[in-house]
Every structure is written in structure tokens, then in C-alpha cells.
Amino acid sequence: MIDVIDLKKNYGNLEVLKGINVTISEGEKVAIIGPSGSGKSTFLRCLNCMEDPTGGSIIFEGEDLADMHVDINLHRRHIGMVFQQFNLFNNKTVIQNIMLAPVHIRCSERTQALRKAFFRKIFNCFRKEKLPLPDSLPTKRQIIAKERAHAEELLRRIGLETKADVYPSTLSGGQKQRIAIIRALAMNPKVMLFDEPTSALDPEMVGEVLDLIKQLANEGMTMVIVTHEMGFAREVATRVLFMDGGTILEQGPPQEFFSHPQNPRTQEFLSKVL
């Protein structure tokens, strides 16, 4: 599903990623672990081009996202991302947070379709064989109603339907992060990227967020998770990558990875954190 080929990223003279090759197939849950400064967050952020790669390519659904001519916004709609700092939109209520992107994108698709239909209608006057006009489009109000229903359904799923109309500043960290996750889900993404989703949370709230991620994993969502929660990685991941110094030093299925690490650097790291 995602093919990463020789991915490189430099900040000035600092080489953060030194040529990474990974293939992530559909339904996989990949956990990325490693010491801080090893480039794991940078790698994750390169996957949807939040950081533009310096070299190499990222093939997602047959297109190279690292190519600057690709419309990255189209592809990002299929790649959900969850941040360490939640990043809920502070000026929007919870339900507006969830609906904003889907409504905007459906509405702009509708505008484009209307424009196309309009020109086709005009040109049809001069054509012998009339081209078919598109079926009737949903009105803006219908789009909003549909997305609102979807958002409410997602909120019900995490049990926060009563919080629909409050602003994010009134929520706890765990609630914010769970809403950030369903905000990404509202776009029906094919992959989800998690950038240390529980690192900024109170210990008490880590559980509820991990539970939600686990649920998604069980539903078959493809995921890439940068995490420091080794227990979680062992339980949920189907593959664990260990990164250090901008390269992937070791990878494997979690049971094998955690019980019999091969690389000495991995052994050292695991002995410190486990």
C-alpha cells in the first residue's frame, strides 16, 4: 500500500533520514520505536509529506508523493494523521472540528461538478452527439446534514456525543485525542499515522486512547504508529521497526522482536526500556 524507497531527509547539513526502505501492506499495523532523535517522527511525517523528503520516493496507491507535481492534498485525504499535541482546531466546536474537512471537500467537489455540467450543457448545443449530463447533485444542505450525521455517529462511538457543541479548550487530554482520532476517521482514510499519540497525556488517560486505537486495529485499519508504549506495540502491532540514527536497524513481528532482538543496539535499547 505504501512503498518507501530510499527515503532521505536533511535539515541543512544534518542528515535525519539516511535512506529508508519499507513496504507497508494493507491491514498491517506497524509500530516504530527508537530513542529520541532517531528520526522516527520525521519518517512518519514524511509519509504524508508534512516534511518534504530530500530524496527517494513514497509510492502511495501508485503515485509518488515525494514528487512535487503530485497534488498532495488529494492524497492526504486518504491518509489520516494524529498528532502528539492533538491539534484540534481551537476556534471550532467539537462537531465542527470533525465536519470541517469533509464538508469543505464535498462542497468543492460539488462546485467542480456543477461547473463541468454547465460547460457540457453549453457545448452540447453545438454537438451532434450529446454528452450525458451528470445525475442530480446533493445540495449543500444535504452534504452538511450527511456529514453531521456521520460525525455524530463517530462521536457516539467514543461516547462523547454530549460534547458535540463545546469548544476543545473545555476537554481533557484524553477526550481531545480521541476526538482528533475520529476527526481523521471522518475522512474515511485508508491509512492512519499516529505520531506519539499518548505522549502528551496524563497517565490516567492513556488507556482510553490506546483502547480506541486498538479497536481501529481490530477493524483492519492500516496503521503506522510511532510510540513509546512497548506493551501496546507488542499487543497491537503486526510488525515492529526499530530506528536509530536515521536508519531502520531491525524489524520483525513483535513476539520475535521483543524476545530475541538481533542487533546489539536494539538489545541495548530494549534492556533500558523494558
Partner 1 sequence: MGNFESKLRNFWDIFVHQNGSAYVLTGLKNTVLIAVFGLLIGVVIGTLIAVVRVFPKYRTLPRILNGICSFYVGLFRGTPIVVQLLVAYYVLLPLFGANWPSLNVCILVFGLNSGAYVSEIMRGGIQSVDPGQLEAGRAIGLSYSIAMTRIVVPQAVKNILPTLGNEFISLIKETSVVSFVGAADLYVAFNSIGSNSYEFMVPYLVMALIYIVLVLLISMMIKLMERSLRKSDRRN
Examine residue 150 and tell whether it contacts partner 1 (CB under 8 A): no
Among 36, 90, 162, 259, binds partner 1 (CB under 8 A): 90
Cell of 250: 531491525
Judging by DSSP bridges, how do beta strands 29-33 and 79-82 pair with one another?
A: unpaired
Examine residue 162 and tell whether it contacts partner 1 (CB under 8 A): no
Largest Cα–Cα separation, the chain: 76
Question: Exposed, middle or buried, 248 (CB in 10 Å: 0-12/13-18/19+)?
Answer: buried
Q: Which is nearer to partner 1, 1 or 100 (CB)?
A: 100
Interacting positions 180-209 with partner 1 (CB under 8 A) = 180, 183-184, 187
Among 100, 117, 230, 270, binds partner 1 (CB under 8 A): 100
Among 7, 33, 81, 143, binds partner 1 (CB under 8 A): 81
Among 54, 87, 238, 247, binds partner 1 (CB under 8 A): 87
Examine residue 88 and tell whether it contacts partner 1 (CB under 8 A): yes
Q: Tell me how far, at minimum, the Cβ of 32 lies from partner 1, in Å.
A: 17
Residues touching partner 1: how many (CB under 8 A)? 32
Q: Where are the beta strands (DSSP E) in the chain?
A: 2-11, 14-24, 29-33, 55-60, 63-64, 79-82, 191-195, 222-226, 239-244, 247-252
Are 212 and 181 spatial neighbours (Cβ–Cβ below 8 Å)?
yes
Instruction: Write out the residues near partner 1 by the rule CB under 8 A.
Output: 48, 50, 73-77, 79-81, 83, 85, 87-93, 100-101, 104-105, 165-167, 169-170, 180, 183-184, 187
